[in-house]
Amino acid sequence: MSAHDAVPVSLAEIARIAGVGRAAVSNWRRRHDSFPTRIGGTDVSPQFSLAEVEQWLRGNGKLGDIAGRELLWPRFEALGSRNETGLAIAEAARRMRSPKARISHPELSARARDLVIQAAHVGREEGPRETFEYLLQRWLETHVRQLSTTPPQLAALMARIALAVRFGPTQDGLTLLDPACGTGHLAAAAVQEYDSPGLEVLACERDPALAALTAGRLEFLAEDREIRTRVATADTLRDDPFAGAKADVALCNPPFNERDWGYEELATDQRWVHGLPPRTEPELAWVQHLLSHLKPGGAAVVVLPPAVASRKAGRRIRGSLLRTGALRAVVSLPPGSAQPHSVSLQLWVLRAASDGPATAPPSQNALLVDATRFARPGTREPSPDWDSLGSFVLTAMATLDQADQKPPQGAVRVPLLDLLDDEVDVTPGRYTAAAAEPTRKELVGKWDEFGALLIDLAEHSRLLSALDFKAGTSQTTTTVGDLVKAGALTLRAGQQPPEPATTARGDAVPLLTIADLLHDGTPSAVIATDSAPAIAEEGDVVVAGVARAFDAWVHEGPPTALGPQLYVLRVDAEKVEAHFLAGCLCAPANGRQAGTHASSSSRVDIRRLQVLQLPLEKQAVYAATFRRLRAFEELLTATDGSGRGLVSDMSDRLAAGGLTA
């Protein structure tokens, strides 16, 4: 096989196939002359032939019991096209279940068809569903910038809310609708949450590859259940494939901020019972589309950007939704709950009027729930505490129709008369008490958390204080600029994006700026991927090149675009350890030495920053200590915040009286 025909794999992929760390692969390459030679890529990111790598791993006893699916993925990735790869994975799923099934997508290339047959064979040997889920997950990870998926935890929470809120009989089964299903995360969650017989799933997606993958996922879930599934490929708003169908439950995570949603051609559509959605309010078109498909008493839960709750253009429709009782609750989620991760998204809980014996009481209020406080503390990337978040939201939902039950702290029933003002703003944070008096149990819990932080802090302090530094020693250093010239690093500078930052989803990434770092470190906007001049991937080193925010760290989490005066350094793992590099760079003296002039607003010349010259093995020792020092710093911040919160809570309790002697 020529190098042109070979399936390329990176060092990271070889490590994944062999089940080892990337450093181990680098050691194999350095120590074994028989290791395959590079067929492409660069010195920093070399590529090798998959066939040669597999042969070498087997011959040297390095492959172990690795599943065949690990060797499948690079072949799928080599197809190149996102759509063809997705369709091929979906076709492989069909073949795993039905070996004689015909190809349903004739546009697949001969190479893709051959791969479908190989994958089906591996799936039948190692487990069809497990093989499909593995390939699907790798595909989603590879195309994370172009796809917007609903995290499984959020999907499960939405399904539980909808099932709890709906009214109507349960003995006749249940119909579920997802009109913008993507790769089926919401539909799959509903199938797993509804454990009774007679489930019918209606799903629609305009992207053929996503629709095919949803169909594959649902067919696996339906193997051992009484489930009927229909997955359509269509633009739901313009050409509804399920027109006239009614659902007990609807779940949706629609595309945001789409101006070309069909405003002109749909101006007289009968779905707009609450008013024609303005061109700038496509999300309100999705809300009314969901309501048009609900059976009496049926419930829908939809993910929406926070601006939909307050934008002036949508106030008339919001008012109608409230007056008719269609909008029953709004939940503000913590940042990181779904893409875009830097935004506090909302769940709108909708319910159609019931005409049966289990009719809900007339709606005189709406339940507004502020769950933004359930962000996981002490993390650079936003990440919700899903267990606490889910418990809180479901507890609040249990009070939705129970006038005699008080919602938990952070949730409030707001009379419609208070909501139906000139703004019709249903943002929960406007109405929930931001800092209600903590209970005794909550105070005890906070003191326990503070004590645990102190224990961790003391342990880190003990280990760091025991380090010994030899006096009078000097170590040779080099600069970032020299490392870039030597090919050990690549350096890219962030810039002001050429277009305004938005909260669009899909082919978009969070945008991190110096202002964000000075605030709380959370990206405050997202931009189109193509507009981002520098994107930090997981494992890259990010440097803030201005004195007032000077820092360097190893990036974790999803790809993130960098704004002005932020830089991304990508290391050659055979020459530089990322945490070692970040630790050297972030030393305050290093930043002062490389500063352009002595002021807090001065720029730091990244190329002049100093790095110790050490062998890779020694770098690993330094890297471990740098990481412990960084953890110590984060613990200090968390302890400070926890302690200040306790001072505030205790002061409020004391000022309110009630202290027992």
Q: How far is CA 462 from the centre of its chain?
A: 36
d(CA 189, CA 597): 56
d(CA 91, CA 110): 13
Q: Which residue, 358, 373, 356, is CA-closest to 408?
A: 373
Give pLDDT, residue 625: 92
Write out the two tokens for 392: 């809180």
Give pLDDT, residue 567: 94
Write out the two tokens for 345: 């998204």
d(CA 333, CA 536): 26
Q: Which residue has the higher pLDDT, 383 or 488?
A: 488
Question: Which amino acid, 655?
Answer: A
d(CA 633, CA 166): 48
Q: Mean pLDDT over residues 385-402, rounded?
A: 92
Give pLDDT, residue 177: 97
Residue 158 backbone dihedrals phi, psi, to 5 degrees: -60, -40
Q: Looking at the predicted structure, is the pLDDT value of residue 382 above 80?
A: no
Per-residue pLDDT tens digits for 531-577: 777 888 889 999 998 888 889 999 987 888 898 899 999 999 889 99
Which stretches of 127-260 are DSSP H helices? 128-142, 152-165, 185-193, 208-221
Confidence of residue 282 (pLDDT cuts 50, 70, 90): very high
**282: preceding bond cis by omega (within 30 degrees):** no
Confidence of residue 442 (pLDDT cuts 50, 70, 90): confident
Confidence of residue 661 (pLDDT cuts 50, 70, 90): low
Q: Looking at the predicted structure, is the pLDDT value of residue 363 above 80?
A: no
Phi-psi domain of 566 (left: phi exceeds 0; alpha: psi -120 through 50; beta: other): beta
Residue 526 backbone dihedrals phi, psi, to 5 degrees: -130, 155
d(CA 33, CA 28): 9
**Count H helices, E strands: the chain?**
20, 22
Per-residue pLDDT tens digits for 459-488: 999 998 988 887 656 688 999 999 999 999
Q: Which residues, 6 or more positions from 278, have their beta carbon under 8 angstroms from its beta carbon? A: 263, 284, 313, 314
In the beta sheet, which residues pair with residue 502?
A: 526
Share of the chain residues as helix, strand and coil, in percent rounded to the nearest 5: 40, 15, 40
Confidence of residue 343 (pLDDT cuts 50, 70, 90): confident
Torsion sign over Cα 117, 122, 123, 125: positive
Per-residue pLDDT tens digits for 183-220: 999 999 999 999 888 899 999 999 999 999 999 999 98
Letter string b/e over residues 365-392, b meaning 16 or more CB atoms within 10 A of that residue's CB = bbbbbbbbbbbeeeeebbbbbbeebbeb
Q: Looking at the predicted structure, is the pLDDT value of residue 1 above 50?
A: no
pTM above 0.75, yes or no: no
Confidence of residue 222 (pLDDT cuts 50, 70, 90): confident
d(CA 242, CA 235): 11
**How far is CA 443 from each of CA 400, 451, 469, 638, 658, rounded to the nearest angstrom?**
28, 12, 42, 17, 15
Write out the two tokens for 190: 């509903």
Residue that has been written with the tokens 């890529």 in this structure: 41
Q: How many CB atoms are located within 10 Å of the residue 18 CB?
A: 20
Q: Which residue, 258, 203, 209, is CA-closest to 236?
A: 203
Give pLDDT, residue 502: 42
